[in-house]
Amino acid sequence: MIATVQPRGIQAPASEEIAGRRIHFLGAGGIGVSALMELAQARGAIVSGCDCCGEGQVEHLREIGIDVQIGHHPSHVERCDEVVYSPAVPDSHPELVRARELGKAVSVRMAMLGRVTKRMRTVCVTGSHGKTTMTWMIAHLLVQAGRDPSVLVGGVVPSLGSNVRVTRGPRSRRGSWLVMELDESDNRMDRVQPALPVVTNIDADHMENYGSLEALEAAMADFLASAAGAEEPTSALVGCGDDERVLRALKLASQRSGLPVIDYGFGEGRAFRGLNVVLKPMCATFDLQTPSGVWRGLELPMPGRHNVLNAAGAAAAAHRLGLDESSVRCALATCERVGRRFEVKGDCGGVRVVDDYGHHPTEIAATVRAACEAAPGGRVGALFQPHRYTRTAALMDDFARVFASCGAAKVWLLPVYAASEAPIAGADHKALAKAIRKYGYKDVTAVADRAKAAAQMAKWAKPGDTLLIQGAGDVTHASEEVLALLRRR
């Protein structure tokens, strides 16, 4: 049975109309909330926000004229019409408490996203892994083809200077296109109406909100089938057919909705099938078998077989929207990486420093493998910061097996980034190091803090090596710290 999430406070009006409404967002610096704030402002809302610190997207929001306060105080909600929060915000948050006292409308982030994007023709990309890269690939293909979509991505795109792009032209009669990454984590996908849903994969994550993998699979099937409600001529169900759970969800959703399935992958019989993959340092070439023939010699300026898989999915979605081989070929060859998705932060003395957001065992395995492929002859040293105690506890053995076999020459572990969670006994970085050693991998070190880890990494590295900074928390700052130490050396 799928776990349900209960609303809190007085719920916001069901109408999607937000123009002129004064909307206050909690957690403004977060990548998802900040993107929603930008899109709400573009739709005519008077937007404000707050966060506990000035990191993340706070400065960017201020630069585009959005009032963001540092710290939390009940006075922040006095003049707004509505407050938007994420599931990470506790009921005791002073601004939520005050909003309820004043009878303000309150809505969860995903509900607001559904209202803001209503009447838009939405390409929704979701899944356990790869959705940020896939979203930007599809968006880039459409932008380069002159389609002028709005875009919401779960990471900063260098050419955008943010994670949001707002359409520049007038809407068509049916509405403008939006390419959007949809977060599946809090079991609220039903708040958004997709016209072209894309599912990358289904893996064991966020089980606290679903209860089981079977429930997550069922939720994905429901999400896919809901595309029928968009009444969009180009609607179809796009997903990775190499993932058995995705394939089952696609077939079930097609039976319910009557929409066609377009699957992609490397396996026999896929509608869009990657062939003859050649992986090179920092890039790849491949052929793509499609319903209109084989597209040969496609180039992708990203490392790793997993990114070729993402490119196949992006091509499938773009082809459904009318893009031809030439458009896809040219756009894929120029597609940049999203920030913190195997982002090369610098190279000093022959040592490459890479920052990556991946924080699930499946993501870590793919990233370390790509790092090894991108540095033939050199070693890979990985610094990992576990994200959330619940995930670390649930996937402890999976993390251990991945690190023991991923090919990294050295692994450092930082304390868990709690993300507002309370500690769980036996789910810390020292326990993870012990679990990794049980699988026979000895060169793993649990480090007390980031500064010590950066110093050890800089001392360990030799010319030709790659230092991989891995995780969704503040470990990202280690990349600059390591580079600074390497420059001094």
10 within domain boundaries: no
Residue in the structure block whose two tokens are 């493998």: 369
Question: By residue range, what is the domain housing residue 410?
Answer: 343-488
**Cα(393)–Cα(413) distance, integer angstroms:** 15
Confidence band of 1 (pLDDT split at 50, 70, 90)? very low
Do 284 and 423 lie in one domain? The reply is no
Query: Is 320 in the same domain as 363?
Result: no
Q: Are residues 323 and 419 in the same domain?
A: no
Burial of 363 (0-12, 13-18, 19+ CB in 10 A): buried
Amino acid at residue number 122: T
- Give the pLDDT score at 268: 97
Question: The domain that contains 484 carries what CATH number?
Answer: 3.90.190.20
Same domain, 305 and 190: yes
Q: Which band of pLDDT confidence, cut at 50, 70 and 90, is reported for residue 12?
A: very low
- Structure confidence by residue, pLDDT tens digits, 453-469: 999 999 999 999 999 99
* Burial call 288-317: b when 16+ CB within 10 Å, e when fewer: bbbeeeebeebbbebbbbbbbbbbbbbbbb
Rg (CA), the chain: 22
Domain containing residue 78: CATH number: 3.40.50.720
Residue 209 placed within a domain: yes
Instruction: State which of 272, 301, 332 marks the end of a domain.
Output: 332
Query: What is the DSSP secondary structure assignment for residue 440, as one 8-state letter?
Result: T
Residues with catalytic roles: 131-132, 181
On whether both 375 and 461 belong to a single domain, the answer is: yes
In the predicted model, what is the mean pLDDT of residues 309-324?
A: 98
Query: At 320, which CATH number?
Result: 3.40.1190.10
Q: Do 213 and 88 lie in a common domain?
A: no
Is 0.85 surpassed by the pTM of this model? yes
Domain end marker among 84, 113, 142? 113
Q: Please check the confidence at residue 15 and state whether its pLDDT lies above 50.
A: no
Q: How far apart are CA 121 and CA 345, in angstroms?
A: 36
- The reply to whether 40 and 135 lie within a common domain is no
8 Å CB contact between 228 and 194: no
Q: What is the mean pLDDT of the chain?
A: 94
268 and 352 share one domain: no
Question: Counting every residue, how long is the chain?
Answer: 489
163: helix, strand or coil: strand
Q: Would the pLDDT of 272 be above 90? A: yes
Q: What is the pLDDT of residues 411-426, one digit of tens each?
A: 999 999 998 899 999 9
Residues 25 and 47 sit within 8 Å (Cβ to Cβ): yes
| Whether residue 284 sits in one domain with residue 175 | yes
Looking at the structure, do residues 436 and 315 belong to the same domain, yes or no?
Answer: no
Last residue of a domain, one of 113, 139, 171: 113
339-368 pLDDT per residue, tens: 999 999 999 999 999 999 999 999 999 999
Residues 350 and 436 both lie in one domain? yes
Q: How much is the pLDDT for 24?
A: 98
The two structure tokens encoding residue 9: 């406070």
Pair (197, 174) in one structural domain: yes
Residue 15 resides in a domain: no
- Distance from chain centroid for Cα 133: 7
The rounded percent of the chain whose pLDDT value lies above 70 is 95
Number of domains in the chain: 3
Q: How confident is the model at residue 376 (pLDDT cuts 50, 70, 90)?
A: confident
Q: What is the pLDDT of residue 169?
A: 60
